[in-house]
Structure formats: structure tokens, C-alpha cells
């Protein structure tokens, strides 16, 4: 006996759902012209013998492109592959000592068991600055525009902000995303785009060791690279920083992150959890409408410290400045 008409219909629906989800999770070839996006690790010399590392290779609109990081400044850049001379070898003893490679190895040193809040959590050297990181996990709510507006209104140079963005948040909040991008293009905000994974897996009630990126079947490489492609398609530069969803990782996840040359970023001042920032703190708030208590605390902090910001006794700093050089 063959399958019944209703079971055929059931499988047709499943097939359509699978196709739709594959298409949704693989926007890579669909627009932006980015193909063959892959992680590499190729140290090379730039101008004035600056040590750089090519981290990604890909094709954009038919030409070979490279995402490269400056090992002293942690600044990434997209360049044409033909502009880099890979023939001049950088010895391991040279690139391994650079601030970028040292930080990458230090913050991805695998440890056994479940790990919360791994990675850099505060500045490595004394500074009057704090580092604002804003998580944009997938959300059904509107974003906290007031968080961005209050940051733009601060009397600090460049208004630096690190936005840990997920692909699904971008997909579902196009207008809000475009608004932030426009604020950055107009130099009202200076955004470091931190990788918060593409789909940001999360299942309520599931223990942390089997949740977030540690969920069964999750491919961390695809999650991280997929988000980078989405940023590049939108004309934005991925930074070499990664924030684990839920701040949850384990040895395997850290090893994958090292292989992708991504430095994990935790926080020592998750405002909604009652931790207030001190000098050098990495501040964590959610800007996706899911944690308004944190936003209220941040805006109060801005208000309380108004004079300190004005007089330069306190400032916001870009995330790359949290690393000692
Ligand atoms: Zn998140």
C-alpha cells in the first residue's frame, strides 16, 4: 500500500519548510555578490612592515578579496587579494608575539567544562574609559532607540559602541538595523561590529551546557561566517571579536573560535544583573528591547556621570583599545 494522500501532503509541507529555512539561513549567494567565503590564517607584511593577518578569503562581484586584520590596532579591512604579497614570509616567532595573536591565544585557551563569561571582560591596562557593548539577539520587540540616542548625545569623541549583532535580528529588524547603519555612516556613532552568531540558538528551560551554541547540531563555523557575510553584504566590516550567545562556551567552542581567529568578549558590568561599571569595564546591555532594566541603568549612569564625561574624567572607548599593546 502506498502512502496516503494526507501523509504525502505532510511531507510536501516539511520539504517546503526545510527549503525555506535553508534559503533563509544561506543568504550568502543570494545578494551582495559574495561567494566562497572561507576562514584562512595567512600572516603577511603591509606598508612599513606592519604585520597583518589575512583572516578570510572570498569573491565579491568576481574579484578576489581578503579580510585582513592589523595585528597592532586590531582594525580589520577588506582589500583586493592582488594588493597583498604572500610570498614574503612572516615567521611564526614574529606574528605570534603581536598583540592580536597574543590576545587570540590567551582568550581562547581551552578549559574543561562549561564556561560562563570567557574572554576579555575589562581593559587590560588602566584607563579612564569604559567599553559599551550592546547585544542584539533575535527579538520580537522593537529595539531601544533611546539607548543609541543617549549615546550619540554624550560629549565624548567619536561615540564608540560595540554592537554584538545576530543575523536573525538583522533579518527581522531591517528598518532598525538600517537606522543604526545610517547613524554610523553619518559619524554620529562609531560602531565595532561584533559577531553574535547568525541564528543565536536558544531554547528556554534547557540547561546551559546543551543550549546556545552548545546545542546539538549547531555548527559554530557556519554561525560565525554566515553573520560576517551578512555584514559584508551590507557594506559593513566584521571585527575580529565574538560574543557568545548567553556568554556560554566550552573548550570545543573556544577551539573553534581560535581556528576562526575570533576573540571572545565577555563583560564585567552586565547592568541588568546589577553590576555597575568602573574604570576599564566592559559594559553589557541588550539593545533589542528584551532587557529594558539594563537600558534604564545605562541612561542613569550617563546622567550621573555627566560632568565626568564632559570634563574627560570618564569616556567611552572603542573595544580594540581594551587590549594592551
Ligand atoms: Zn544574545
Complete domains list, the chain, with CATH? 34-97 (no CATH), 113-322 (3.20.20.370)
Name the band, by pLDDT with cuts 50, 70 and 90, for residue 9.
very low
Sign of CA dihedral 222, 224, 225, 230: positive
- pLDDT tens-digit map of 154-189: 999 999 999 999 999 999 999 999 999 999 999 999
247 Cα to the center of ligand 1, angstroms? 8
- Range 26-41 average pLDDT: 73
Burial (CB < 10 A; 0-12, 13-18, 19+), residue 139, is buried
Distance 226 CA to ligand 1 centre (A): 16
Helix, strand, coil percentages for the chain (3-state, nearest 5): 40, 25, 40
How many CA atoms are closer than 13 Å to the CA of 17, on its beta-carbon side?
A: 6
Rounded mean pLDDT, 18-32: 40
CA 32 to centroid of ligand 1, rounded, Å: 26
**In the predicted model, is pLDDT for residue 80 greater than 80?**
yes
Nearest to 213 by CA among 170, 169, 243: 243
111 Cα to the center of ligand 1, angstroms: 22
Q: How far is the CA of 28 from the centre of ligand 1 (A)?
A: 22
Whose CA is closest to 214, among 107, 118, 318?
Answer: 118
Measure 10 CA to ligand 1 centroid, in angstroms.
Answer: 34
> Among candidates 248, 273, 155, which has minimal Cα distance to 197?
248
Strands 263-264, 238-242: pairing kind: parallel
Amino acid at each position: 500500500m502506498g502512502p496516503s494522500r494526507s501523509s504525502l501532503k505532510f511531507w510536501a509541507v516539511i520539504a517546503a519548510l526545510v527549503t525555506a529555512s535553508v534559503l533563509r539561513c544561506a543568504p550568502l549567494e543570494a545578494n551582495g555578490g559574495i561567494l566562497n567565503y572561507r576562514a584562512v590564517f595567512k600572516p603577511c607584511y603591509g606598508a612599513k612592515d606592519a604585520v597583518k593577518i589575512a583572516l578570510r578569503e572570498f569573491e565579491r562581484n568576481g574579484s578576489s578579496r581578503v579580510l585582513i586584520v592589523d595585528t597592532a590596532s586590531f582594525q580589520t579591512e577588506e582589500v583586493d587579494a592582488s594588493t597583498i604579497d604572500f610570498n614574503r614570509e612572516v615567521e611564526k616567532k614574529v606574528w605570534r608575539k603581536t598583540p592580536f595573536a597574543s590576545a587570540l591565544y590567551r582568550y581562547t585557551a581551552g578549559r574543561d567544562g562549561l564556561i560562563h563569561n570567557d574572554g576579555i571582560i575589562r581593559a587590560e591596562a588602566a584607563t579612564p574609559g569604559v567599553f559599551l557593548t550592546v547585544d542584539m539577539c533575535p527579538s520580537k520587540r522593537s529595539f531601544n532607540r533611546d539607548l543609541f540616542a543617549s549615546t550619540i548625545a554624550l560629549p565624548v569623541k567619536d561615540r564608540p559602541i560595540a554592537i554584538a549583532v545576530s543575523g536573525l535580528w538583522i533579518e527581522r529588524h531591517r528598518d532598525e538595523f538600517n537606522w543604526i547603519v545610517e547613524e554610523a555612516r553619518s559619524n554620529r556613532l562609531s560602531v565595532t561590529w561584533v559577531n553574535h552568531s547568525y541564528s543565536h540558538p536558544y531554547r528556554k528551560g534547557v540547561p546551559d551546557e546543551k543550549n546556545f551554541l552548545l546545542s546539538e547540531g549547531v555548527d559554530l563555523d557556519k554561525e560565525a561566517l554566515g553573520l560576517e557575510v551578512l555584514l559584508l553584504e551590507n557594506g559593513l566590516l566584521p571585527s575580529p571579536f565574538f560574543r557568545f550567545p548567553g556568554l556560554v562556551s566550552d573548550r570545543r567552542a573556544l577551539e573553534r573560535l581560535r581556528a576562526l581567529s575570533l576573540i571572545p568578549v565577555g563583560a564585567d558590568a552586565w547592568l541588568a544583573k546589577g553590576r555597575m561599571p568602573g574604570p576599564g569595564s566592559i559594559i553589557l546591555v541588550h539593545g533589542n528591547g528584551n532587557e529594558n532594566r539594563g537600558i534604564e541603568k545605562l541612561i542613569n549612569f550617563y546622567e550621573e556621570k555627566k560632568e565626568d564625561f564632559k570634563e574627560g574624567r570618564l569616556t567611552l572607548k572603542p573595544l580594540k583599545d581594551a587590549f594592551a599593546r
